[in-house]
Structure 1
Amino acid sequence: MTSMSSLIVITGPSGVGKGTLVEKLLERNSSLWLSISATTRSPREGEVEGKNYFFLEPKRFSEVKEQGGFLEWAEFAGNFYGTPKKQIDEKISQGKKVLLEIELEGARQVRKNCDKSFQIFIAPPSFEELEQRIRGRGTDSENAIKRRLARAKEEINAIKEFDAVVINDHIELALLEIERLVKAS
């Protein structure tokens, strides 16, 4: 389906800065394209169909899943999320490198379903720093924070599964390392 240099997976725990790194990476590298996920959740204020997500009814999501239309998919907080295969194949055939910013389970599915991807794990400088970042957002309840931190421990324990690890201690240095890895992949 894809060559090693075409599909780049970026994974890491909540609060590690994946979204910021991917955003800056895309701004600086026009040859990269970020895959747009499908979801069954409702759009949030300001989200645009086909730009932020493809918003699907649960029945339609299930149909696409049953037809093998997702490279990976997962259920999170009662909603389904998936990476449509068709758009990835189209972009790769146009010579683009495709970025997937996905969770650990999705990365594992990509590894299983696609023999050639390059997978980068974004790690925090320490677990304590990650906790400070998550708490610093001020957007989650204490229960949600505890769930995120428990999940982060599981994800960090899977670090050896990845082709490369980038510690996001300083955003610019982490970004330079990701750019180097993407070019070398």
Structure 2
Amino acid sequence: MGVRMSDRSFLPCRIAVLTVSDTRTPADDRSGDTLVARLEQAGHILADRAICPDDRAAIGEHLTRWIEQPEVDVVISTGGTGLTGRDVTVEAHRDVYEKEIDAFGTVFTIVSMKKIGTSAVQSRACAGVAGGTYLFALPGSPGACKDAWDEILVHQLDYRHMPCNFVEIMPRLDEHLRRK
């Protein structure tokens, strides 16, 4: 299935990147680096970047802070989506979601199956919306970040992508808060 592009102009998104890890530092955050390089190459703006420990409350605080900032349109986290006891990113994301984008996890699994076969079942990648901000939780490997960006997000965060994309509905994500 080919990607159709409309004659619309590109609209850059302001994207914050959160690496969830007890061990990563700015010097060795390859997954965060992968996301930043790809979003900037696509023409988007890095709004902020942080590393946070595998702690549900701390992750939730980062997400909430960015949701409340009008200069952040999208948050992409990497790490903490697995099955071990310290993997709490999905729970932290779901704590703040107003709506979950259920199909994101499904499509990510399909993309992953092509690369890593049945090992794809071990990821709990998810996405949602809160306060007019898109939130995506990706696994912590650079390969998974590359796959999620290259196969899903680069298209859905591009206003020109047809037949539809996340950017075109962005102005209406918080319309329920504006109604009188």
TM above 0.5: no
Q: Could you state the TM-score of these two structures normalised by the residue count of structure 1?
A: 0.38
Q: Which has the larger radius of gyration?
A: 1
Does 1 or 2 have the higher relative contact order (CA < 8 Å, sep 6+)?
Answer: 1
